[in-house]
Amino acid sequence: MKQIDLENLPDLAVGATFLGTGGGGDPYIGRLMAEAAIARFGPVRLMDVDDVPDDGLVVPAAMMGAPTIMVEKIPNGREMQIAVSSLQQLLQKPVVSLMTIEAGGINSMIPLAVAAEMGLPVIDGDSMGRAFPELQMTSLHLAGIRATPMVLVDEKGNTVMIDAIDNLWTERLARTTTVAVGGASIIALYPMTGRDAKRAMVRGTITKALELGRLLRADHLSVAEKDRRLQAEHGALKLFNGKVVDVERRSGDGFVRGTVSCVGLGDDQDHVFRIEFQNENLLAMRDGQVVATVPDLISVLDQETLMPITTEGLCYGQRVTVYAMPCDPVWRSVEGLNTVGPGYFGYDLTYVPLPGTGSNESRRTTHEVSHGD
């Protein structure tokens, strides 16, 4: 039986942060919460979605808000259980399995803390295969699953239940409420049946994060060897080696938006590199040419340790290596690109899949909502 325990939790935290592409929150706080809960209540069972009963209630839970705020506005630890329990009570049905909404430092960790505490399994997968900044940016949304009823809880004890007419309204209402409670909140949303989870979720994300994290954290491997395997085994593409020379950030509407600029080092000497982000990295440009965009993954790693750096952790002087990785095929459909493509984020660009990732992608297509590319 697969499980998340104190031993593999650090792998998951690192791998999920890589998949979080700069967003999904700082892994540190989330990992501490998950560690404490697992130490007290025991490991969390990792469930294959095919083992979830068709009519069982599956609930994804997450932290919502700007990562920069999440770092300082620490959860009190009870919010997510309150959120999940409120949703259970509202639906008059017990939750059979929790789910992570996205891969990301904090959002892969917090559901584990609650799962441990509530004695519930977590499904191996998520709804993005990465992290995205808005609530409707999920494979569940593409499959026609409603995000509401949802419950939003803050650390003070305020609870808000939203039942919106569509998932864009859910995002809007939850975002303004999150801003009103201070910029970060805990949410339980997209309540769905096991049947829907099977057809609509992105499968295997947690296993993938565990493998990525194990590779990145392996003490016995050199950076060069890790780099080789990242590219060979995980379809990653090295985009740039350089030094951060400027980070510009602005927050205020519930997101942190900004730009990070780098100058090249080593083989990339005399080149410049820029990443634009909205919680997550959205766009990578080398010498002014776009080399990767959402929905493909863009991850910034520390050059020496290969530890992923979230957008709120970026700062002047860091030596970084930037990787891209193909997104889940669900995002390369027309509807997927309308929902999370460069155009949605305001860039007048046509999405071009990462070079050489077409065949790689189709091999990785496993779930029914996949549309291929």
Decide if 325 contacts 295 (C-beta within 8 A): no
User: Restricting to residues 87-106, which ones interact with a second copy according to CB under 8 A?
Assistant: none
Tokens of 303: 């050059």
**What is the distance between the alpha carbons of residues 140 and 189, in angstroms, rounded to a whole number?**
11
Q: Give the residue with the Cβ less far from a second copy, 159 or 350.
A: 159
| Closest separation in Å from C-beta 334 to a second copy | 27
> Could you give the C-alpha distances from 346 to 20, 96, 98, 294, 339, in angstroms and in order?
21, 39, 33, 12, 12
- Number of residues interacting with a second copy: please give it, by CB under 8 A: 18
CA distance 344 to 143: 18
Residue among 49 and 186 whose Cβ is closer to a second copy: 186
Amino acid letter, residue 152: L
Minimum distance from residue 135 beta carbon to a second copy (Å): 14
Angle made by CA atoms 364, 369, 371, in degrees to the nearest 5: 65
Least spacing, CB of residue 156 vs a second copy, in Å: 6
Report the 10 Å Cβ neighbour count for 241: 20
Query: Structure tokens of 108?
Result: 């892969």
Rounded to a whole number of angstroms, the minimum distance from the CB of residue 185 to a second copy is 11
Question: What minimum distance in Å lies between the beta carbon of 90 and a second copy?
Answer: 9
Find the binding residues for a second copy in span 133-192 (CB under 8 A). Answer: 156-165, 169, 172-173, 176-177, 179-181
- Compute the least distance from the CB of residue 113 to a second copy, in Å: 23
> 116 or 173: whose CB is closer to a second copy?
173
Dist CA 244 CA 338 (whole Å): 31
Q: Kindly tell me which of 174 and 201 has the beta carbon lying closer to a second copy.
A: 174
Q: How far is the CB of 59 from a second copy (least distance, A)?
A: 17
Nearest to a second copy of 157, 372 (CB atom): 157
Q: In what order do the strands lie in the sheet with 272-278?
A: 289-293, 280-286, 272-278, 256-264, 237-251, 319-325, 297-302
Kindly write out the interface string for residues 273-302 of this chain, putting x where it contacts a second copy by CB under 8 A and - elsewhere: ------------------------------
Question: What gap in Å lies between CA 5 and CA 115, rounded to an integer?
Answer: 12
By C-beta, is 169 or 347 nearer to a second copy?
169
Contact 103, 129 (CB under 8 A): yes
Q: Which is nearer to a second copy, 58 or 160 (CB)?
A: 160
Please report, as ranges, the residues that interact with a second copy according to CB under 8 A: 156-165, 169, 172-173, 176-177, 179-181
